[in-house]
Structures are given as structure tokens and as C-alpha cells.
Amino acid sequence: MNSIVLEAQGITKKYRETLALDHVDLKLEKGKIYGFIGKNGAGKTTFLRLITGLAFPMEGRLSLFGKSGEKSLQEQRKRIGSLIETPALYPYMTAWQNMEVQRLQRGIPDKSVIDKTLKMVGLDNTGKKKVRNFSLGMRQRLGIAMALLNTPEFLVLDEPINGLDPAGMVEIRNLIKELNREYGMTILISSHLLEELHNTATDFIFIDGGRILEELTYEELNEKCKQHIEIKVKDTEKAVLVMEEKLHTDNFKMLPDGTIQLYDYLDDIESVAVAFSEAQVLVVGLAVTGDTLEEYFISKVGGGSHE
């Protein structure tokens, strides 16, 4: 019964010689909060630009709310609110005036929606202050407010928490959850900061090098992050041999720092210890442990990015 809000089939985009998006296939269902996670330059913003109509795909098909074709897509975009990169604001106007321009161009009746929306993001008392005097956090909030102006059905946010202080982050996170709860709004948030999204999103999409690596639900991600045996050894090559030949498993990952994450034998960690010791591989650490989101992402992509 879940209707599809966005469907991408084989979306490919090239800028000069770089492949920004490589045959991306995605289906976004109504009512979910999607965390779109990737390093800087992985293709997140490019994809969001394609969704919002700022750029066009070279190959592939995009459909919004079941409709495709440039003309229909543009019509459907009226149902989307978006914030791409840093907020685009008129520096010499006040917050209210910036919102008014948006209200006029979208044809939204009733001026009071402006105050209501500003209140939602906590900007209802900026009065005559011009945007150029706003702090980064205030600008971010105004950008989000502009995206929310006509209570869209699909909200697309590009790194919305960037530049906010911890209290602001919490506020926006709560706002997102509330919007999803109260209106059943479908939300797509992109970020390279994973911890933040972990508590907000219902589904996760990992992207790297323009390709979708994996799609997981919140529960599935927790499952994956929950259990593995973390093995620290001195001789990693030998350890790998042991695992492949003695333990007959290739269900493991190597972290950049040489730590091995083994996803098998979770209930039989002794066999693992025995196998290593028999092969005279010195084990410095052996424990069943979970991942943080950050570690999981690094293990998938290698080399994360941090603020």
C-alpha cells in the first residue's frame, strides 16, 4: 500500500570526465525517513540536484509520484520542498521578506503561513534583521523553513544539520521526526555525518563513487552493527589464511587499521581462538562487539570523513 514517491532507474550523470552518478537505482516509499549517506563527493548532492530539476540525467529514468517526463516531473516538483547545499537567501531582506518572495512565487495563499513556518524552525523573532547578519545556524533554519513553506509531501534536505550547534541539531532532528509523524511526510536527508542520522532515519542508503552500495532499514542496520567478532592480530595475512582454510569462512572484513571483523562463529568464539592459536597467529584482541554507524560505513567504503 506504500506508494512510491521517487523512482530512479539507471540514473547516470557525468561531469566532464568524472562519473558523478553510475546507474543509480532507487525506490523511495511514502512516509519513510531516508538517510542518504556518503562521503563528500560521493554523488549525494548531484543526485539531489537531479531530483529537484536543477540538472538533467544523461541516462536513466526518473519518476516522481509515479509520473515521469520533464514536463510532468516539473509539475510534480510543486509537491516537493528542498534545501540543496547552503541555503539560497536574499541577503538584504529580512527572514519574513525572503519567505514572502517564496510564498508569492509558489502562489501560496494566506500570509500567515509564513509566521507559522518560521515559528516551526524557531525564527519567529528575527524582526527586521537582514539575512546577511544571520549566523550560519539561523541561515540553515531559514533554508529549512523555505523548504517547508507549503507543507510538502516530500522533503529533500542536503546536509541540513551542517553548521548547527548541538542544541540546534537536536531541534532540527526533532522537527524532522515530528513532520514525519504528524503529516506522514516522506523525507530524504543527505549527510556525511552518520551518528546524527542514526537516530532519525527509518531507512539508510549508502552511496560511494556515484554508486548505491547498500540500502538498509533501521532494524537491518542495527542487526549488522550488532554482532561481529572483532579480532586484532599482529599478522593479518596469516590470520586471513587461517580464517579461509581452517575456519572455512570468507564472511569477514578488514578495517584500514588491520582489525578484522568476523561475521561468522558468533556463538563459537572459542573455535576461532583455537584456530588462531594452533596456527600460531598471535591474537591481541578477540571480542564479540557491535559497530557504531561510523565504523560500519568505513568498513563499507573505507576512509570516512569527519567534521
Partner 1 sequence: MSKLLKAEIYKLLHSRYFPALCLAQLLFSTMMLRDSLPKTSNLFYATLWYLPFSYLIVVVFMVLYFANDYEERTLFLYITAGNKRSSVLAAKAVCFVLADLVIMLFPVVVQLTIGGWILKETVDPAVIRPYMGILLMGQAATGMMGVCLAQLYKKVGNLITAGMITFIAMVIALNSKAASVLSAVIPAGHAYRIAAEQITETPGYYMGISAGWIVVMGIIALIAFCRADLK
Partner 2 sequence: MDDIRILCIILAIITIYLLLRYRNLRRELTSVSKQLEALVSDETEKMIDIVFVDKELERLAGLLNEYNEKQRMVVAGAMRNEEYLKDSVANISHDLRTPLTVILGHLQLLDTQALPPEQAERIAIVRNKAERMKELVETFYEYSLLHTSGKELKTERINVTNLMINLITENAPAMEEKNLEPEVSLPEHSVYLETDREALERILQNLMTNAIRYSAGNIGVRLTEENNTVCFTVSNPVPQGSIVEPERLFERFYTGDRSRHDGSTGLGLAVVKELTEKIGGEVKAECRDDRLWMTVKIERSKAIKI
Q: How far apart are CA 60 and CA 11, in angstroms?
A: 4
Burial of 67 from C-beta contacts in 10 A (0-12 / 13-18 / 19+): exposed
Q: Which amino acid is at 171?
A: E
Q: How far apart are CA 293 and CA 297, in angstroms?
A: 6
Cβ atoms within 10 Å of 225's Cβ, excluding its own: 17
Of how many residues is the chain composed?
307
Instruction: Indicate whether 65 belongs to the interface with partner 2 (CB under 8 A).
Output: yes
| Number of amino acids touching partner 2 (CB under 8 A) | 22
Q: Residue from 50, 121, 153, 155 that binds partner 2 (CB under 8 A)?
A: 153
Closest distance to partner 1 from the beta carbon of 28 (Å): 17
Closest distance to partner 1 from the beta carbon of 70 (Å): 9
Q: 307 contacts which partner out of partner 2, partner 1, none, CB within 5 to 8 A by kind?
A: none
Q: Which is nearer to partner 1, 154 or 296 (CB)?
A: 154
Q: 59 contacts which partner out of partner 1, partner 2, none, CB within 5 to 8 A by kind?
A: none
Residue 108 CA, distance from chain mean position: 30
What residues have CB less than 8 Å from 92, skipping those under 6 apart?
130, 131, 132
Q: Residue numbers of the site for partner 1 (CB under 8 A)?
A: 49, 52-56, 71, 74-80, 82, 84-85, 88-93, 97, 100-102, 104-107, 146
Closest distance to partner 1 from the beta carbon of 35 (Å): 21
Q: Which is nearer to partner 2, 184 or 302 (CB)?
A: 184
Q: Residue from 17, 40, 71, 104 that binds partner 2 (CB under 8 A)?
A: 104
State the chain's maximal CA–CA distance in angstroms. 77
Q: Residue from 17, 40, 107, 127 that binds partner 2 (CB under 8 A)?
A: 107
Instruction: Indicate whether 41 belongs to the interface with partner 2 (CB under 8 A).
Output: no
Q: Residue from 19, 108, 240, 283 that binds partner 2 (CB under 8 A)?
A: 108
Helix (H, G, I), strand (E, B) or coil at 56: coil
Q: Residue from 61, 90, 92, 106 that binds partner 2 (CB under 8 A)?
A: 106
- Among residues 15, 2, 37, 10, the alpha carbon closest in space to that of 26 is found at 10
Q: Which is nearer to partner 1, 65 or 297 (CB)?
A: 65
Q: 101 contacts which partner out of partner 1, partner 2, none, CB within 5 to 8 A by kind?
A: partner 1
Query: How far is CA 200 from each of CA 32, 141, 237, rounded to the nearest angstrom?
Result: 10, 18, 39
Only segment of 52-60, 149-157, 212-220, 291-299 that touches partner 2 (CB under 8 A)? 149-157
C-alpha cell at 76: 510534480
- Among residues 102, 85, 77, the alpha carbon closest in space to that of 153 is found at 77
Q: Which is nearer to partner 1, 38 or 87 (CB)?
A: 87
Q: Is the dihedral of CA 255, 260, 266, 267 positive or negative?
A: negative
Q: Is the dihedral of CA 18, 70, 83, 155 positive or negative?
A: negative
Binding site for partner 2 (CB under 8 A): 1-2, 31, 65, 78-79, 104, 106-110, 112-113, 150-153, 181-184
